[in-house]
Structure 1
Amino acid sequence: MKSLIQAVVIATVLAAPVASFAQSNQPVTRAQVRAELIQLEKAGYQPTRSDPYYPADIQAAEARVAAQNGTAQPAVSSYGGVANGSSDSGRAVSANGTKSIYFGN
């Protein structure tokens, strides 16, 4: 019986952090979105600028805001890491010379 109580206590202690990091299912209000946008603009993000490198500037502003708030996220996100290399298979493509339309017949 003592081991059962001990197992329940250990399971409760291990499950407590899961509940503390759970996100609320409440939708974000318009005021919260506006406040976040103002905070991002103060951090250097310009939503009206036409930028071909869009994700980089907003991510940099979000990182600055997170650093100011003390809630910096780890460098690795839930999207996975960056591939270190790549490989190709097959053979190199060679240009075919000009051939007659009757070639091979």
Structure 2
Amino acid sequence: MKSFLKAVAVAAVLAVPAISFAQQQQPLTRAQVRDELVQFRAAGYDPADWMHYPENAQAAEAKIQAQKAGQAYGPSTTGTSQYGQ
């Protein structure tokens, strides 16, 4: 029984650093929250429209994610060119 307790203690000692390492995310600052709210409003989210709250928030989040995905890989490729004129 003592060896079992020792094994549990050793496992706990080894697991604590891994758990504490995973929780090192910093909380958002007030400025970051304000920036996110500005992005949501620019994407069409209206906080006063509480009748359609989940749908509006999800649509705005999807629009923001699509914009971020489009920006991640370079400039827009939908433009036109008049080369040689």
Q: TM-score, normalised by structure 1?
A: 0.42
Tell me the distance in 1 between the aligned counterparts of 2:23 and 2:43.
25
- Once the two structures are TM-superposed, the CA of residue 54 in structure 1 deviates from its matched residue by 1.2
Q: Is residue 48 of structure 1 aligned with residue 48 of structure 2?
A: yes
After TM superposition, the runs of 4+ consecutive aligned structure 1 residues lying more than 6 A away are none
Q: TM-score, normalised by structure 2?
A: 0.51
Q: CA RMSD in A?
A: 2.1
Where do residues 1-105 of structure 1 align in structure 2 (5 Å cutoff)?
25-51=25-51, 53-70=52-69
- Once the two structures are TM-superposed, the CA of residue 23 in structure 1 deviates from its matched residue by 7.8
Tell me the distance in 1 between the aligned counterparts of 2:43 and 2:28.
21
What SS class does the counterpart of residue 57 from structure 1 fall into?
helix
- Structure 1: runs of 5 or more not aligned: 1-21, 72-105
Tell me the distance in 1 between the aligned counterparts of 2:38 and 2:24.
23
Identity %: 53
Of structures 1 and 2, the one with the larger relative CO (CA 8 A, separation 6+) is 2
Tell me the distance in 2 between the aligned counterparts of 1:24 and 1:66.
24
- Once the two structures are TM-superposed, the CA of residue 24 in structure 1 deviates from its matched residue by 5.0
Taking structure 1 as reference, are residues 42 and 26 closer, same or farther at Cα in structure 2, changes over 3 Å only? same
Question: Deviations 1:13-62 (Å, cap 9, x if unpaired)?
Answer: xxxxxxxxx785100001000000000100000012232x3111100000
Q: Which has the larger radius of gyration?
A: 1
- Structure 2: runs of 5 or more not aligned: 1-21, 71-85
Q: More helix by proportion, 1 or 2? A: 2
Taking structure 1 as reference, are residues 25 and 48 closer, same or farther at Cα in structure 2, changes over 3 Å only? same
Taking structure 1 as reference, are residues 30 and 49 closer, same or farther at Cα in structure 2, changes over 3 Å only? same
Q: 2:83 maps to which residue?
A: none
